[in-house]
Chains A and B, each alone.
Chain A
Amino acid sequence: MTMRTLPRRLGVAIIVAAIVVFLSIKLNAFRDFQIAQIAVEVTAVAGLTVLTGLSGQISLGHAAFMAVGGYTTSLLLLHLAWPFYAVLVVAAAVTAIAGAVVGAAAARLRGPYLAGATLMLGVAVPAAIADAWPATFGGDQGLNITFTTPAFLGVNFPPTRWQAWVATLVALIVLVLLANLDRSRIGRNWRAVRDDDAAAALDGINVAAARIRAFVVSATCAGLAGALLAIVTLGVGPGDFTLTVSIALLTAAVIGGLGTLPGALWGSLVIVLLPTYVTDVATSHGLSSTVGSNIPPAVYGAVLILVMLLFPQGIQGGLRRLLSLLVSLFFGPDQKSRTWRVAPPTHVTPSADDASAGQHEKEGTS
């Protein structure tokens, strides 16, 4: 099975990349920016969904890791003018170290204590950046960088399109790697630790090491997202990494379907596109600004409530249920195993008798 899943994941990634390239050429520059924004969001949310959904650790301060990645990127581009791919690698490495440090502390904490500790991180890091070493971090103003398109694309190539390509490529690489990790022994250990850490320890799993590993992976993803954000918005400031951003990441992971990578994409799409879309609809119906401006937050709230009521497993869980319902309608109940060929490929269920729900749905309820 694992022999066949890697080429298939790569195949899906290449198809998605082709779609993004096509869209980025067809759509206007603002849509390119939104594609890049979605890619940034997916990168961070995918990391968080692995941490919370697979290893069972919550983080309310993931924007702090984004800040580490974003500032590392900006400082390197500003002062050393390295090529951006090298900068991305270093930013990921620096955030991985930060993740290991925080993870070592987090491995000892659980539930509300871990939530509290990460919350503190989420509040303290942007505040510290704004105040400490203004000569290095630029205080409240942050750092501005330039990001040029490579020469081979020509001088008239829209910079937003190039940014969208870079961000999407990084996001897809992250997703493919995470999908593999998810199906590997590391991923299975995370699930074991999440479901029952005592049982996992009895089975010979080093619980603390597994937890720290999850934090490192998750923080690295967030760091890459922060690095991409710096490249996409041409700079970083403490305002880009506030607690609101941390909470939005968690919201996206939950709406999309905690623990599922396609869910990270659905959640990011909702977080990025919904406000713009609803604002456009509200203004095109000629509502006054006081009414119109309050509609997007209201719709956002309504969507959150509806998703949680209708699809407790998030959008991905809802889609899965819908799909298995359709398949049983068209092919009869004994054909259900075919579902997983057409379902998003990251969660292939090997056993054909796994009739009613996907593996992750069952795990999600535990």
Chain B
Amino acid sequence: MTEGRPGERLRVAIVDDEELARRLLREYLAAHPDVEIVAECANGFEAVQAVAEKEPDLLLLDVQMPKLDGFEVLELLERDVPVIFVTAYDEYAVRAFDVHAVDYLLKPVAPERLAEALARARARAAGVPRRPLPLAEIRAAAHAAPRPLERILVRDGSRVHVILVDRLDYAEARDDYVCLRSGGKEFLKHQALAELEGQLDPARFVRIHRGYLLNLDRLAKIELYAKDSRVAVLSDGTQLPLSRAGYARLRELS
């Protein structure tokens, strides 16, 4: 049943929150001697951690899972890991294609379909040299559906923070990163401020300055501190610079 070349092992991580679904994949994979299961994860957090630690060659990834869904897991990965989606939902197929999934298997899974998908993964591993992960595309696809964004995911080593957009006070541009301020805590995310701005609800988040994106709910008042120069004062007392263009945008919204 295996088409793997001798010595070429395929190191696989199974990610599914249902024990029985993992068991089924385990059983099917046992028929492929070149496949080695290096990790079994019951949720997205575990998957992100397992990819970092075990560096699998292939992810068998469910979409609907606690904490992080399959697409969010991909967004947080920093390595280009080939993925086979395994889900009962057919509506994610287009998004899966957009993130360059190797294959898309529907539950209940047929062993022949899994074998086909594995063959495709082996061909990809053997043939095309690894191209860099198309991070921007993956991010765009990951957020293709729920727009505007409701939660922001931040990776911190092997940990993942989930910041609800409601709780985000403001975001500040810092070189290649954005610094997200939420309830007195700071989170650094590798993303451009303009990209984040595009993902958030423009009626709630306003670019008040080249370097600052503000949650309007947090704005307490605007103070004039010099001629033609203003600061935005947040409800917790934080002061943020307010550019002329930013002031104009705020006035447009109010």
Are A and B subunits of one complex? no
